């Protein structure tokens, strides 16, 4: 089964009919359930066969050494890798002593479905054992969005013929065996064997609890399970445990039509500081609360939570049912990644797989948080509060590098820099401004002044101090920031990267303005008028390179003077380039891994004229190879802005289908949260024309020919704005709140409750379609009108980032 035919197209869910054993790892990522605290890959209930087993707790990791052929001052000494914690998903079934294993016997029917409105993963199977006994198995799994520590499964087995003797073994398994084999791809996670050391265990009745501690990072993990059992009279229950295993077994005899039902509640907790009794008791308390709520209660809470989410956050598309499914898939998983993270990072893969060692990057602030700001703002607040908790580490890192303020890590779990490659890691200073801008956006969108005073101001001050010490005024008075790496990882340690300088400029201005608003708090942080004046001076004098001869902005100083990469001599199998060519060659050529200057035009569109945007976009289109999943969504946004709507449509579909079609070939390691969030940005900021870097939201709506209608909702300062776009009109409706001022096509517009405001659609000029490097064109999007999956030719193989 190919990626295009594995999953059926349904606007409100993902279904898999049959079982593709070769594609199990990809399906496990797609069917993953999470709430931002717990992450369960979509492994089969019985545990085997599997592609990659995975159970993750946000913030739980193990330390590993970072080897260097030659050491250097300031190099990080150790890395952090997410670990597969105790697996509580496993429910093994034996039918007359034969294990329910889909590799044996006859699988008569198998279906899995993830429903976005319910937040439930359902599975139905009918299987005949090698001995000829047939059973029906159904399970429904959830990770609670309302009870943070809880996952649960409703498991039922029904005898089709018989009588048959069945045994259910519900287990907790720590240090489970992971697939072996060295990975040549540096993007894959490091595999850490047996990272958990047993500390305590208990089993009694229908309950079991295991407590472990990570070997080197010193984090205590407790997992408990409890059960409700329904079946024919006379079933027998036993409980037992060992250091790395807890098991509750249920056995009975089923006659044809009889059912044995097991409801399993699993609770997870961890801490780096609390005692063993405290962590264990937390888990037992969570189990008590879950049993009190009951299975039906957990399901009802889940549905109610998601009902509110979709009523206020849905993105609706008419004209492309596959894209509709993909964008709801994206929203659902972005929601899962941040819903209950609660002062923890949102990793690049969420909690769906071990890709990138479970690290959080700048992706979160630049792609994920802009989406969550307008649909789940509390998640943004929690993510930024996590960044605030890491400020002491960021200050230490800045001091180590000889800088003032705070230097945040390029990749991390707990707050320390975990990148062993400093040109891409340490030199990517823009992460500081990415965090600052995310904080400014959150405050502007919510009006949360208390957050700004308690957390946001300090983030702004410390990042502004870093920029002021990193950059300098040259002889001409221009403020320069040199020796940095921007978003494009095929260009490193460059001078005056435009994206970096513009983001730093925003950061410096915002810090000065926030300090003026909260003078007492700023004074407590040591800020005085001289320092804020220096920030304003640096912002005013910020140097933005421009190539007068070509009429475009170079990505950084001298970039447009570099030799062009020989795209014609680069065969398709040599992409992604980073896996086939040395970095020194990439760094000195005009070739772009991911949108960099184009991203600058999205986040700081006010710094470019419309003519400059069109010329810049055309210039960088022919250099950008999209060896990163972060690129297509940004190219979609700017393609729409410059009038290339069909190209924008193609890029939007690529971003949205990154995982459902496994375009990067590595969905098995986890979903691409930034690309999923980016697909939402491509629709709302691209075709909706939303820009939020000013005091008011502004919209310049456009629709490609393949879409008939686009509608979305946004939470803004206590209001709920609904925007509906067709090829003839755009209508703004205030569904909650008093009134809202915004800009439509640059003109002020006030939206009042009960009085939708409608404006005719502007018809932009349609320029000639831009060209991409040979073989790197996005797939042309075809209109999707039926239930079958498929969108024509797939785009070239992409590397994920």
Gap between the Cα atoms of 280 and 299, Å rounded: 25
Answer yes or no: are the C-beta atoms of 800 and 651 closer than 8 Å. no
Nearest to 248 by CA among 200, 211, 206, 202: 206
pLDDT exceeds 70 at position 184: no
Q: Please tell me whether 97 is known to bind a ligand.
A: no
Q: Give the torsion through C-alpha atoms of 669, 670, 671, 673, to 10 deg.
A: -110
pLDDT exceeds 80 at position 183: no
Query: Average of pLDDT values for 289-317?
Result: 98
**Residue 369: which region, alpha, beta or left (left: phi > 0; alpha: psi -120 to 50)?**
alpha
The domains of the chain, with CATH numbers, are 31-309 (2.70.98.40), 344-544 (1.50.10.10)
Q: What is the pLDDT of residues 679-700, one digit of tens each?
A: 999 999 999 999 998 889 999 9
Gap between the Cα atoms of 25 and 667, Å rounded: 8
CA of 703: how far to CAs of 327, 777, 780, in Å? 16, 21, 16
Please indicate whether residue 489 is annotated as part of the active site: yes
Gap between the Cα atoms of 300 and 294, Å rounded: 10
pLDDT of residue 150: 98
With bands split at pLDDT 50, 70 and 90, how would you rate the model's confidence at 326?
A: very high
Q: Please tell me whether 453 is known to bind a ligand.
A: no
Q: What is the pLDDT of residues 542-572, one digit of tens each?
A: 999 999 999 999 999 999 999 999 999 999 9
CA of 34: how far to CAs of 27, 143, 154, 584, in Å? 15, 6, 17, 40
Gap between the Cα atoms of 582 and 23, Å rounded: 31
Nearest to 710 by CA among 308, 323, 310: 323
Q: Please tell me whether 177 is known to bind a ligand.
A: no
Beta strands (DSSP E) in 35-133 are: 38-40, 55-57, 61-65, 78-82, 91-95, 98-99, 106-115, 120-128
Query: Average of pLDDT values for 452-458?
Result: 98
Q: Which residues make beta-bridge pairs with 559?
A: none
Task: Give start and end residues of each alpha helix (H) in 174-275.
Answer: none
pLDDT of residue 269: 97
Q: What is the pLDDT of residues 210-254, one digit of tens each?
A: 999 999 999 999 999 999 999 999 899 999 999 999 999 999 999
Q: What is the pLDDT of residues 364-384, one digit of tens each?
A: 999 999 999 999 999 999 999
Answer yes or no: are the C-beta atoms of 780 and 558 closer than 8 Å. no
pLDDT of residue 796: 34
Task: Give start and end residues of each alpha helix (H) in 622-682.
Answer: 631-641, 645-656, 673-681
Answer yes or no: are the C-beta atoms of 117 and 12 closer than 8 Å. yes
Q: What is the pLDDT of residues 393-418, one digit of tens each?
A: 999 999 999 999 999 999 999 999 99
Q: Please tell me whether 565 is known to bind a ligand.
A: no
DSSP secondary structure, 457-488, as one string: HHHHHHHHHHHHHH-EE-TTS-EE--SB--S-
| Residues across the chain | 801
Active site residue: 171, 176, 416, 489, which one?
489
């Amino acid at each position: 089964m190919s990626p295009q035919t594995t999953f059926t197209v349904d606007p409100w869910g993902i279904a898999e009919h049959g079982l593709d054993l070769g594609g199990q790892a990809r399906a496990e990522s797609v069917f993953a359930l999470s709430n931002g605290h717990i992450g369960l890959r979509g492994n089969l209930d019985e545990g085997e066969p599997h592609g990659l087993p995975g159970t993750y707790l946000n913030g739980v990791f193990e330390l590993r050494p970072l080897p260097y052929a030659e050491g250097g001052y300031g190099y990080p000494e150790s890395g952090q890798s997410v670990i597969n914690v105790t697996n509580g998903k496993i429910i093994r079934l034996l039918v007359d002593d034969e294990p329910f294993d889909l590799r044996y016997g006859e699988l008569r029917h198998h279906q899995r479905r993830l429903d976005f409105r319910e937040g439930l993963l359902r599975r139905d199977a009918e299987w005949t054992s090698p001995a000829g006994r047939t059973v029906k198995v159904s399970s429904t799994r959830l990770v609670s969005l309302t009870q943070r520590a809880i996952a649960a499964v409703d498991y039922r087995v029904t005898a089709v013929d018989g009588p048959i003797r069945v045994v259910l073994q519900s287990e907790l398994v720590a240090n489970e065996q992971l697939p072996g084999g060295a990975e040549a791809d540096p993007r894959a996670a490091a595999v850490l064997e047996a990272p958990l050391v047993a500390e305590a265990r208990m089993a009694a009745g229908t309950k079991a609890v295991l407590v472990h501690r990570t070997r080197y990072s010193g984090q205590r993990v407790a997992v408990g399970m409890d059960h409700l059992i329904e079946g024919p009279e006379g079933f027998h229950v036993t409980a037992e445990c060992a250091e790395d295993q807890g098991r509750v077994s249920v056995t009975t005899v089923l006659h044809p039509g009889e059912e044995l039902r097991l409801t399993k509640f699993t609770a997870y907790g961890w801490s780096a500081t609390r005692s063993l009794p405290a962590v264990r008791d937390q888990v037992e308390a969570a189990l008590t609360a879950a049993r009190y709520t009951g299975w039906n209660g957990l399901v009802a809470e889940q549905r109610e939570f998601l009902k509110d989410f979709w009523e206020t956050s849905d993105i609706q598309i008419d004209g492309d049912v596959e894209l509709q499914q993909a964008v709801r898939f994206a929203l659902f998983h972005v929601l899962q990644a941040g819903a209950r993270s609660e002062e923890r990072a949102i990793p690049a893969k969420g909690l769906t797989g071990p890709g990138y060692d479970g690290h959080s990057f700048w992706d979160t602030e630049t792609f994920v948080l802009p989406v969550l700001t307008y649909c789940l703002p509390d998640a943004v607040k929690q993510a930024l509060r996590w960044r605030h908790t890491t400020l002491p580490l960021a200050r230490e890192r800045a001091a180590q590098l000889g800088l003032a303020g705070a230097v945040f890590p390029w990749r991390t779990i707990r707050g320390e820099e975990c990148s062993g490659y400093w040109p891409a890691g340490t030199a990517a200073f823009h992460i500081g401004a990415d965090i600052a801008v995310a904080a400014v956006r959150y405050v502007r969108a919510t009006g949360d002044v208390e957050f700004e005073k308690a957390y946001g101001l300090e983030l702004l001050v410390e990042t502004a101090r870093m920029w002021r010490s990193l950059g300098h005024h040259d002889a001409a008075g221009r403020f320069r920031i040199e020796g940095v790496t921007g978003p494009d990882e095929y260009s490193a340690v460059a001078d005056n990267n435009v994206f970096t300088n513009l983001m730093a400029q925003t950061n410096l201005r915002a810090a000065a303005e926030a300090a003026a608003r909260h003078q007492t708090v700023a004074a407590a942080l040591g800020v005085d008028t001289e320092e804020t004046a220096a920030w304003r001076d640096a912002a005013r004098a910020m140097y933005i390179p421009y190539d007068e001869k070509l009429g475009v902005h170079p990505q950084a100083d001298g970039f447009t003077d570099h030799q062009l990469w020989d795209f014609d001599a680069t065969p398709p199998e040599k992409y992604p380039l980073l896996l086939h060519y040395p970095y020194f060659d990439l760094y000195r050529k005009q070739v772009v891994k991911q949108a960099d200057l184009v991203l600058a035009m999205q986040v700081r569109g006010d710094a470019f004229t419309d003519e400059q945007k069109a010329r810049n976009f055309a210039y960088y289109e022919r250099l950008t190879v999209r060896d990163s999943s972060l690129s297509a969504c940004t190219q979609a946004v700017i393609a729409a802005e410059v009038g290339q709507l069909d190209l924008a449509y193609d890029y939007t579909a690529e971003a949205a289908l990154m995982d459902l079609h496994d375009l990067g070939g590595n969905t098995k390691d986890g979903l691409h949260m930034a690309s999923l969030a980016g697909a939402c940005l491509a629709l709302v900021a691209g075709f909706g024309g939303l820009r939020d870097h000013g005091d008011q939201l502004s919209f310049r709506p456009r629709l490609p020919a393949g879409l008939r209608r686009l509608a979305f909702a946004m939470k803004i300062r206590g209001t709920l704005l609904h925007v509906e776009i067709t090829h003839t009109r755009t209508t703004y409706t205030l569904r909650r709140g008093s009134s809202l001022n915004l800009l439509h096509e640059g003109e002020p517009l006030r939206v009042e409750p009960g009085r939708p405001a409608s404006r005719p659609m502007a018809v932009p000029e349609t320029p000639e379609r831009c060209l991409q490097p040979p073989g790197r064109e996005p797939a042309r999007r075809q209109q999707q009108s039926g239930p079958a999956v498929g969108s024509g030719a797939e785009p070239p193989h992409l590397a994920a980032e």
